[in-house]
Amino acid sequence: MALRAGLRAETRHTVGPEDTAERVGSGDVPVLATPRLLALAEAATVRAVAGRLEEGRTSVGTRVELTHRAPTPVGGRVTVQAELTEVDGRRLVFAVTATDEAGATIGSGRIERLTVDRATFLARATG
């Protein structure tokens, strides 16, 4: 169950009214909001390492580079694929690609996560 480059996962989602830039406040158009695309990409990174972290550990997002290239309307389907490209101690680096139902790339980027002890992290969060 070791973390290693090459681990992959994907997230599939049909865009609903709650996913639009209008609804989340990131714009005024009824298409997939960039923050929602990012959330789908992060979900794919979490899935890529699910079941491979040591007991009591989790991963948290620390850095994001995301290019949102094309709009997806309500009802459109999006697939986000994440691949773990680098493991550097506790630092995990993922390449992410988002495509629409026609296979066109609508977004791409890189997400870094850090593995942490879940209890210690939560204790710091609650003060």
> Which residues are catalytically annotated?
34, 42, 68
* Residue 113 assigned as binding residue: yes
**What is the β-pairing status of strands 77-88 and 8-14?**
antiparallel
Please say whether the beta carbons of 83 and 8 come within 8 A.
yes
* Residue 51 assigned as binding residue: no
User: How many whole angstroms separate alpha carbon 12 and alpha carbon 27?
Assistant: 23
Q: Is the dihedral of CA 14, 113, 65, 127 positive or negative?
A: positive
> Which residues fall in the annotated binding site for CoA?
61
Q: Which residues are annotated as a binding site for substrate?
A: 61, 113
